[in-house]
Amino acid sequence: MQDLPTSASSPEEMCRGMKIVYGEDYKPQLAAKYVQDFANTSDAGPFDGLLGFSEGACVAANILLDQERTSLERPFKCAVFFNGIPPARAGNAGLYLADECGQVIKTPTLHVFGARDPGKFASLALGNLCTSDNSSVYDHGQGHEIPRAPAITKRIATLVREMVAGIESNPTNSVNEGACKR
C-alpha cells in the first residue's frame, strides 16, 4: 500500500496513480470475460447480481460497464461492491473515472467501504461512476475488509434487500449510450 497516492483533489485524481501499483500483469478484463462466459453458458444460472471485493469489484464493474454498452441479454441486474475499484481500461491504460466519462453505470449498485481503508478513494471513485438514483453507499467504518459485526452485516443486508426491492418495482435498467470507449 505504500505506493498508493496520498493526496489529491478528488477520488478520481487519487485513482490515476493506481496503475503504478498494479503494473502490467493486472488484467481484470480477462477475469470479467471468464465470468461473463460462465454466466452466459452455465446451467447454474440465471444470476441476478454480482458481488465483488477490492479487485473483484473492479472485475464486476467491468462486467456492468460492458453490459451498459451492449444490447445483449443482461444477466446481472445489480451489484454489491466491497471496497471497490473502478473498472479498468483495456491494455492496462488506467481506470474509467467519472471526471472523464460521467456516470456510465446505470445498473443498481451498493458500495460498501470502510473509512479506515487506505484505498477508500477508489470505492468513492467507483461510486461516482454509477448513477446516483440507482446506487447506495455505506461506510462500515472499518478497514479494507468485509465486515463481520452483526449490526453492520444486518445493515448491509437491509441495503441489499432495498436494492432488490427497487429492481423488482422497476425491472428495466437503462443503457447508457454515452459510455466511455475502450
pLDDT, one tens digit per residue, over 113-155 is: 999 999 899 999 999 999 988 899 999 999 999 999 999 999 9
The strand order across the sheet containing 78-82 reads 49-53, 78-82, 109-113, 135-139
d(CA 124, CA 83): 9
pLDDT of residue 4: 52
Can you give the pTM of this predicted structure? 0.85
Mean pLDDT is lowest, of 61-75, 141-155, 161-175, for 161-175
The dihedrals phi and psi of 73, each to the nearest 5 degrees, come to -55, 140
pLDDT band at 175 (very low <50, low <70, confident <90, very high): very low
Instruction: Tell me the β-bridge partners of 138.
Output: 112
Question: How far apart are the C-alpha atoms of 9 and 13, rounded to whole Å?
Answer: 6
**Cα 65 to Cα 22, 163, 170, distances in angstroms:** 20, 19, 20
Placement of cell 453492520 in the chain:
152
Q: What percent of the chain is predicted at pLDDT more than 70?
A: 80
Q: What is the H or E stretch that residue 137 is in? A: strand 135-139
Active site residues: 54, 117, 144
Q: From CA 20, how far away is CA 86, in angstroms rounded?
A: 15
Q: How far apart are CA 43 and CA 112, in angstroms?
A: 30
Place of cell 471468464: 34
91, pLDDT greater than 80: no
The yes-or-no verdict on residue 17 having pLDDT over 80 is: no
Q: Between vectors from CA 49 to CA 44 and to CA 53, what angle results, nearest 5°? A: 110
- From 69, 74, 90, select the one nearest 36 (Cα to Cα): 74
146 grid coordinates? 468485509
Q: Report which secondary-structure segment, H or E, holds 50.
A: strand 49-53
